[in-house]
Structure 1
Amino acid sequence: MQLTVLGGCGAWPTAVQACSGYLVEHAGFRLLIDPGYATLPRLLDHSTVDAVDAVLISHGHPDHCADLNPLLRARGLSDTPPPALPVYAPHGAVDAVLALDKPSMLAGAYRLHEFQPGDRFDIGPFRTDTWLLPHFVPNAGIRLTTPEAVLAYTGDTGPSPDILRLAQNADLLLSEATYIHEVPSADAPYLLTARLAGQYASQAGAASLMLTHLWPGTDPEAAHEAAAGAFRHPIHVATPGLMTDVARASGRAAAESLDADAGKATMPNYKRDDL
């Protein structure tokens, strides 16, 4: 599994950093997670719009989904439109983005699959488990599993014991870290710090950690240092163009189960048209 960071800035993009956006590839399948503000130009540095096989969105804030609109425009209004793009999102999360154009304009450009955080489903080669994590709007923590690796992504969240289940023995935890040491009291239930991200990664037994959604202007070295106080394994800070191979840590069983039901799941054969 390969992760390419398109952006990792919280709230709004800067001159050098797009908002949240991640391209995850496995077995020739390209899954775009959270196409936030300014991520489409960064996507085009690595791929074409018609090479994206599916989109997965954690929640409906525009710094996580705004660039779904230009992505669908680029696909739907091209001379030779590709097949409708499967878009997975919590119920109602992308209503505002889809409403930017009249319904008929991009109707053929996407197929919307809405889910409740807590649902489990397959997207191409990825078994996808989700958790409802605390944020200002419903937010889905996401765990992607293949036989070779596990990637856990918090979306935007405040403190929650479910983060430990989400990140349990993950090969990479991609974690919200808006602040370094302390979240302002009014926002404390809904956002994390780099320090807390390090603590969760350590307690969950994650093999590596990537900090993302840093507040614009945050010193990435300071965020790294705060997380390293609790987590002794590799730590990265999400920056555009950063690529990492997410691989099963030595000694871990393939397709590790979260519970008895998950242990019964098998990875299906898939085709793009099956999504």
Structure 2
Amino acid sequence: MSDGRLDLTVLGCATPYPAADNPCSGYLVSSGGARIWMDAGSGTLGPLQRYVRLDELDAIWISHLHADHSADLLTAYYGLLFADIDLASPIPLYGPPGTADRLAHFLTNTPARSPVESAFAVTELHDGHRTTVGPLRLTSRAVAHGIPAFAVRIETAGASLVYSGDTAPCPSLTELAEGCDVLLCEAESDRPPSEGEQVHHTPEDTGDTARTSGAARLIVTHVGRFLTPRQAVARAATHYDGPVDHAAPGVTYSIG
């Protein structure tokens, strides 16, 4: 049974490659004994094991297939099938269309396709996809990143978390985040784009999305390397009056 609380542990939030003390994007979301690895960016599998073994995960959710959000699925595959883990059944993996084939393309080294489905039970996301993992309810929405990409709202009876993944400001994210307890939102861009399509939030955009959606709290993540976390938080706060934090690696936030 869940007590209505939802815990968010930051495994890493660096972009586009890991820092010495900060893996790429990855988070552990847990409630009532259910545990979800949310994004599996480069380097996140290591710190994940401080909290949970791979075979103890109830699900994996992937926002999009850029390496800084998904690359550690490759090493997780080897860990699940060819190491010290006796996997009872494949781990449910929710990801963008083509996830299984993308993994298999990278992992296959012989004429026989690597058995990706022996490690992961893959479900392809679509706009409005809904599922449950233990006491957690997940709703995914397609967002604007130039490739298939998704944000997710994770809820229990007493708490709600919305994670943007990577995206430009867009109505689907704002709608998904309406009235949430915590919005975990990327802020990779240090300035609005001068030309071409915008595919990330600036810190000011992050504040705007939190304010417009009525989020109770904003956690800024995935901050670009031309900004410090302190700068990103300060700039987001100029567009949002609620509490603003930075997703520091190793920190656990209790929601609800």
Superposed pair shares fold, TM > 0.5: yes
- TM-fit CA distance, 1:101: 1.8
The range that moved more, 35-44 or 111-120, is 111-120
Task: Determine the structure 1 residue equivalent to 2:225.
Answer: 216
**Does 1:161 find its partner at 2:164?**
no
Instruction: Deviation per CA, 1:133-171: give whole Å up to 9, x if none.
Output: 110211111111111111111111012122221110100
**Does 1:85 find its partner at 2:95?**
no
Task: Determine the structure 1 residue equivalent to 2:208.
Answer: 199
Q: Is the 8 A contact 2:60 2:93 kept in 1?
A: yes
- TM-fit CA distance, 1:185: 2.6
1:74/1:80 Cα in 2 relative to 1: closer, same or farther (>3 Å)?
closer
Letter in 2 for 1:23: L
Matched residue count = 246
- Pairing of 1:112-131 with structure 2 (within 5 A): 112-131=122-141
1:208/1:114 Cα in 2 relative to 1: closer, same or farther (>3 Å)?
same
**Does 1:173 find its partner at 2:183?**
yes
Q: Is the 8 A contact 2:26 2:38 kept in 1?
A: yes
1:78/1:233 Cα in 2 relative to 1: closer, same or farther (>3 Å)?
same
Letter in 1 for 2:164: T
- TM-fit CA distance, 1:104: 3.7
CA RMSD in angstroms comes to 1.7
- Secondary structure at the residue paired with 1:71? helix
Distance 1:10 1:186 in 2: 21
Task: Determine the structure 1 residue equivalent to 2:102.
Answer: 96
Distance 2:98 2:202 in 1: 28
Instruction: Deviation per CA, 1:18-68: give whole Å up to 9, x if none.
Output: 111010001101100110111111212322222211100111111111001
Question: Normalised by the size of structure 1, how large is the TM-score?
Answer: 0.84
Q: Is the 8 A contact 2:32 2:134 kept in 1?
A: no
- Pairing of 1:14-93 with structure 2 (within 5 A): 14-82=19-87, 83-93=89-99
Distance 1:187 1:243 in 2: 37
1:187/1:76 Cα in 2 relative to 1: closer, same or farther (>3 Å)?
farther
- TM-fit CA distance, 1:122: 2.1
Aligned match for 1:139, one of 131, 145, 149: 149
Uncovered stretches (5+) of structure 1, i.e. residues with no partner: 248-275
**Does 1:239 find its partner at 2:248?**
yes
Distance 2:50 2:165 in 1: 23
Task: Determine the structure 2 residue equivalent to 1:189.
Answer: 198
Q: Is the 8 A contact 2:7 2:252 kept in 1?
A: yes
Aligned match for 2:13, one of 8, 17, 20: 8
- TM-fit CA distance, 1:119: 1.9
Q: Is the 8 A contact 1:90 1:117 kept in 2?
A: no
1:92/1:185 Cα in 2 relative to 1: closer, same or farther (>3 Å)?
farther
Q: Is the 8 A contact 2:94 2:123 kept in 1?
A: yes
Distance 2:196 2:27 in 1: 25
Amino-acid identity (%): 34
The range that moved more, 51-60 or 110-119, is 110-119
Letter in 2 for 1:121: T
